[in-house]
Copies of this chain bind each other. A is one copy, B any other.
Amino acid sequence: MTSHSPLPIPDSRLFSIPTRIYWEDTDAGGVVYHAQYLAFLERARTEWLRARGLGQEVLRHQHDLVFAVRSMTLDFLRPARLDDLLRVTAEVRECRHASVVFAQSIERGDQTLLTAEVKVAVLAAATFRPRRLPETLYQAFRTLERPTDRQEDREPRNDG
């Protein structure tokens, strides 16, 4: 982390990117192939990080870390279709020392098409072994947590 500290942006906790649906994303059912939504979710997490100065290159080379999906729950509520312009959101639900839980959604206009909770584990870029977040990143992510009503269920927490 350099001294010009890339992470604050405290007001913009709710983050989203636009995503257009192309032929590549659809299947013969005429809708978006279900696995493709996971790629959209990852694009949003990646851009969420980039908006905080944490592009993949910075993460790998300055911090020796990559994130790997450890678990997900997904609810597919409505299908997206060719040419749709979607909004993919990402926010930190909970940050621990060795993992981050994101709450995400995919929306079209005022309709929610998909909701997801995605837990990513922190790995060392060089070895792909679990490691802890550097303290500066941990503290920065903690300030970005956007707890929900379920917050109280999760106390007390243990890390990992």
**A69 interface hit (Cβ, 8 Å):** yes
Instruction: Identify which of residues 1-46 in chain A touch chain B, using a CB-to-CB cut-off of 8 Å.
Output: 20, 22-24, 26-31, 33-36, 38-39, 42-43, 46
A98 → chain B, closest Cβ, in Å?
A: 15
Residues in B with CB closer than 8 Å to A20 are 43
Task: From the candidates B34, B75, B82, name the one contacting A38 in the complex (CB within 8 A).
Answer: B34
Q: A73 at interface (Cβ–Cβ under 8 A)? A: yes
Distance between A26 CB and nearest chain B CB, rounded to angstroms: 4
> How many A residues touch the partner, as a band?
35 or more
> Is the Cβ of A68 less than 8 Å from the Cβ of B27?
no
- State whether A69 touches B26 (Cβ < 8 A): no
12 extra A-B contacts, CB within 8 A, seeds A20-B43, A26-B27, A68-B76: A23-B42, A24-B35, A27-B27, A28-B28, A28-B29, A28-B82, A30-B30, A34-B68, A35-B35, A35-B36, A68-B79, A74-B74
